Amino acid sequence: MQHEEQVRVLKGLMDHLDRGTNVDVGYQVKNPTASYTSPEIAAQEWESFFQDYPHLLGLSGELPEPGSFFTSTDLGKPILCTRDMDGTFHAFLNVCRHRGVVVETAERGRKKLFSCPFHAWTYSTTGDLVAVPKEDHFGAVDKSCHSLVALPAVERHGLLWVSPNPEHSFDIDDLLGDLGDELGHWNMEACARHDATTYKHACNWKLANDTFGETYHFETLHRDTLSPSFYGNVQMYDTYKRNHRMALCLRSIDSMRGTPTDSWHILRGTAPVYYLFPNIQLVMTGGGPILVRIYPDAGDPSNSRSEITWYTFPEEVRRSFGIPEEQDEGRLSITDRMEGFAAIIEAEDYVVAASSQVGALSGAQDFVTFGRNEPALHHYHSTFRKALGQEPLETLESPISSAAE
Ligand code: FES
Ligand SMILES: [Fe+2]
């Protein structure tokens, strides 16, 4: 994130605090509860957003050296991601070209060759079929026609992007817009993978995503967890095409007042959270990025899960942030970082997200209301609806009391 932009965001937050304001879209919108309960919409989203759209599967640190690999079934099909012996990132359908068995069954590791467990057809890190045992008995195989099926894959700004549709390549620079440049400033290519976990939630995937979309709830839901270190209902918000950046306001921002802006760093006064369409929340902390990938259970509008991975900035990068020791999350152990995140996201946010699903299924109301101070919710849902060709969200001009009738 460019320093000039860091200063703009920090000053904007200080200004909101001074004036007792928050970002203000200027109007409320109604979001139909069917968005969270309809099997038809869930099916459209799965096809359009999760089967035919490029996805961020991890940071570059998932593949730390030549020969590193990991496998994924997050997008409903087996995918093998590799870093070849020259260091280039690849993704393939993890399916043997002989009889269709899943080739690599380990979650991650390092290999020069991937040998199918059925008859040992063997593939290189570039997906080439390099060995067919007993070919004199089996019959000749044209190896050049039997490589693993390649998926469009791009490594950019320390992020690993894959299209699950082999036919659909993508332009990640175009999809990220101006946000790409900003992401490039975080040195994420140097971040090491630390640990990962899964949270399952009995709610629509968008309800889990929505919990990242405002700080209006900090002083109630997170009264004892986040609120001691964050101001609630104060944020800076910027959109970049289908993506956005929210800057949450740390109470430590006050210690920066009156100090030279040259010494400011965004992480001293905020926790920036990037949303990358359709399902990514990337939380920047002094300890390192936390990547949250939210997936629906295919075809099921009421169940979803989050795959969460913790990464670490290299020590020299972390020190350059100038975060005072007592505020620096980087001093914490990975166990403390993971437990702290779970205490907020899993034990608080995702509990109310599941509760909202109960409410949506109850039929109590046909829509939920997004406030003027919840711009991310406006943006998420407007973007989803536009992508699926649905009607725009209905705008409410009247006070919420009459809107809830
Ligand atoms: S199915 Fe893979 S080698 Fe036969
Ligand atoms: Fe929250």
The reply to whether ligand 1 has any atom less than 6 angstroms from the CB of 121 is yes
Atom 1 of ligand 1: nearest residue by CA position: 99
Going from the Cα of 99 to the center of ligand 2, the distance in angstroms, rounded, reads: 47
Closest CA to 71 of 104, 38, 118: 104
Q: Which atom of ligand 1 is nearest to the CA of 99?
A: 1
Q: Which atom of ligand 1 is nearest to the CA of 103?
A: 2
Continuous segment of H or E residues that includes residue 385 = helix 375-387
Q: Is 119 in the pocket of ligand 1 (CB under 6 A)?
A: yes
Q: Is the CB of 99 under 6 A from ligand 1?
A: yes
Q: How many residues would you count in the chain?
A: 405
Residues 6+ apart with CB under 8 A from 156: 172, 173, 176, 180, 184
CA nearest ligand 1 atom 3, residue: 119
CATH no. for 3-51+190-395: 3.90.380.10
Ligand nearest to the CA of 349: 2
Cα-to-centroid distance, 95 and ligand 1 (Å): 9
Exposed, middle or buried, 32 (CB in 10 Å: 0-12/13-18/19+)?
Answer: buried
pLDDT at position 402: 42
CA of 213 to the centre of ligand 2 (A): 8
Position 399 scores a pLDDT of: 55
Determine the 3-state secondary structure of 99 from DSSP.
coil
Q: Is 101 in the pocket of ligand 1 (CB under 6 A)?
A: yes
Cα angle value 52/376/156 (rounded, 5°): 45
Residue 398's pLDDT is 57
Ligand 1 centroid from CA 169, angstroms: 28
For domain 55-169, the CATH class is mainly beta
- Cβ of 105 less than 6 Å from ligand 1: no
* 182-202 residue pLDDT tens: 999 999 999 999 999 999 999
Token pair, residue 291, equals 């990547």
Q: What parts of the chain have a pLDDT lower than 50?
A: 401-405
Note the Cα 397 to chain centre separation in Å: 33
Question: Which ligand 1 atom is the nearest neighbour of the CA of 121?
Answer: 3
Q: Is the shortest distance between the CB of 133 and ligand 1 below 6 Å?
A: no
Helix (H) or strand (E) holding 136: helix 135-138
Tell me how far the alpha carbon of residue 76 lies from the centroid of ligand 1, in angstroms. Answer: 21
Q: Which atom of ligand 1 is nearest to the CA of 120?
A: 3
- Give the start-to-end residue ranges of the domains of the chain: 3-51+190-395, 55-169
**Using the 8-state DSSP alphabet, how is residue 390 labeled?**
P
> Under 8 Å CB-to-CB from 327, ≥6 apart: which residues?
250, 252, 268, 286
pLDDT at residue 322, rounded to an integer: 87
Q: Return the HEC string of 303-362.
A: EEEEEEEEEECCHHHHHHCCCCHHHCHHHCCHHHHHHHHHHHHHHHHHHHHHHHHHHHHH
- 118: Cβ below 6 Å to ligand 1? yes
- Ligand 1 contact, 117 CB (< 6 A): no
CA atoms within 13 A on the CB side of 345: 28
The predicted pLDDT at position 355 comes to 98
Task: Say if residue 289 is preceded by a cis peptide, omega within 30 of 0.
Answer: no
Torsion of CA 96, 101, 102, 106, to 10 degrees: -110
